[in-house]
A and B are shown apart, each in its own frame.
Chain A
């Protein structure tokens, strides 16, 4: 695994702080992860046990399918996918070219506020790393 997308300890610390900020900014969010675009978990902040390896691979597939469907529909660059479930939301959001932000939230969360918070976090990370 020597050549996997490397993030320094400092970067990992920064990303963890951003995920913590995101979770504390919206009480409905109970987990947030940064994953590589090809499905490896990089940083995780979660109140519950999350199987991050499987989730990371699945979220990578999901956004890639979103991108393919966008292309097929004559549209460009899928920025995020929301999965609306009976008891919660999943947000899968692109962060630059090589990372994704995945957020898990309870159903009582305001979806607009949730999406806005996720976009702000992604934008902050993009600015910080000039992605």
Chain B
């Protein structure tokens, strides 16, 4: 029985730590510190190394869940954390100024990993910020010749996060 490893990445403040907290079977490992830059207007703390949680599937298989820091200065952690990973969850905050550009940044930075392993896109805060809509996300992915699921999710809802994992398992090497 081998463990599965999935990685959560995405824009700063999008809710990567929250998503992992919602589904992990134990209190997740967090590495949050006080925010001292412009992000402090949005949140008091930010992840600087990683989050880690775990969930067990019906067949007793464990999924290890790693969250990356959002800011690009922690790109070195992204490279460490994807090692051995079987899939990527990209969380995009639709309330930011240019979510599709954000998406492109993560698609570009994880390009090889997405190609090898698979990914799913979760878009948050669509209720209050409906634009761009899911069709625009799919159009953008099609433009980049990528076929990934895109889901409208609330990271505070456990079922939504599970739905992301289900979608990821469907597209990743694991099936």
- A residues contacting B by CB (< 8 A) are 1-5, 36-40, 53-54, 56-58, 60-62, 64-65, 67-68, 72, 97-98
Contacts and interface: CB of A to CB of B under 8 A. Distances in A.
Interface residues of B, number: 22
Contacts of B77: 61
Contacts of A54: 73, 76
Contacts of B33: 37-38, 60, 64
Interface stretch (B34-42, B53-61, B98-106, B110-118): B34-42
A90 B27 CA distance: 31
Contacts of A65: 31, 49-50
Contacts of B41: 3
A110 B26 CA distance: 42
B171 interface: no
Given A68-B49, A72-B29, A3 B38 contact: yes
A37 B37 CA distance: 10
Contacts of A72: 29
Interface of B: 29-38, 40-41, 46, 48-50, 69, 71, 73-74, 76-77
A8 to B, nearest CB: 15
A39 B39 CA distance: 13
Contact of A40 (B29, B32, B37, B76): B37
A22 B161 CA distance: 49
A67 B34 contact: no
Contacts of B49: 60-62, 64-65, 68
A77 B22 CA distance: 26
Nearest to A58: B76
Contacts of B73: 39-40, 53-54, 56-57
Nearest to B52: A68
A5 B31 contact: no
Nearest to A36: B36
A68 to B, nearest CB: 5
10 contacts: A1-B37, A3-B38, A38-B37, A40-B37, A57-B48, A57-B73, A58-B76, A60-B48, A60-B49, A68-B49
Contacts of B35: 38
A61 B46 contact: no
Contacts of A38: 33-37, 46, 48
Given A38-B46, A54-B76, A68-B29, A97 B34 contact: yes
